[in-house]
Amino acid sequence: DQQVKQNSPSLSVQEGRISILNCDYTNSMFDYFLWYKKYPAEGPTFLISISSIKDKNEDGRFTVFLNKSAKHLSLHIVPSQPGDSAVYFCAASKGSGNTGKLIFGQGTTLQVKP
């Protein structure tokens, strides 16, 4: 069963606009969430994370929102840049001893058009 779902396989936005990537999860035991970005031929790169005790976390152009009641999180990129074009994965973990065990979504390919 897919515990972490990214229902949009792809997203295309114009440079300078906002990109919103969505992620849903089914396991209420997840308490830590992360977003990774992946370019072809490279491993995933950590972007931003959020603990379940928060509902928002910002880091520069990246903001992650968590709605626990809806079991939904989203990543906002403002403003979007062509270099942001990549595959974005959301991931979740449960319990403090499971940092090394991440459950990933299927990924969303973001294309930012100049």
Chain residues binding another protein by CB under 8 A are 32, 36, 41-46, 49, 51, 89, 91, 96-107
Complex with another protein: residue 15 or 31, whichever CB lies closer = 31
Closest contact distance (angstroms) between CB of 4 and another protein is 9
- Cβ neighbors of 86 (< 8 A, separation 6 or more) are 37, 38, 39, 109, 110
10/14 with CB nearer another protein? 10
Least distance to another protein from the beta carbon of 13, Å? Answer: 23
Who contacts 29 (Cβ-Cβ below 8 Å, separation ≥6)?
94, 95
* Closest separation in Å from C-beta 101 to another protein: 4
Closest to another protein by CB, 80 or 105: 105
> For the purposes of burial, counting CB atoms within 10 Å of the CB of 57, is it exposed (0-12), middle (13-18) or buried (19 or more)?
middle
